[in-house]
Structure 1
């Protein structure tokens, strides 16, 4: 379990700042994509794309 957490933290640290920020807004603060888009001054579609890229990147590093 400890190894898995360490791998996850390392993978998160490798994410570009914007991808990490979007994931934090979603999974830590529970914000909706529209809210994140408004805060970041981008479209909902852009937030969705950033989220999807971040999750794909995490998955590729953890599998």
Structure 2
């Protein structure tokens, strides 16, 4: 789906403003999680999220 490409683009870290974008990314990740929870496709998206993006999301959380 195009949704994950959009999420990766939006939450991509910017090295030249790492500390500023960290807060922005946290807010985005929280709103994205809310979006998934409210989505009718949540149970369809969840396996894709876990298998394709879990490592990337863990990387983002460790920034």
* TM-score bracket relative to the smaller structure: 0.3 to 0.5
Compare the two structures and name the one with the higher helix fraction: 2
Larger RCO (CA under 8 A, 6+ residues apart): 1
TM, length-normalised to structure 1: 0.39
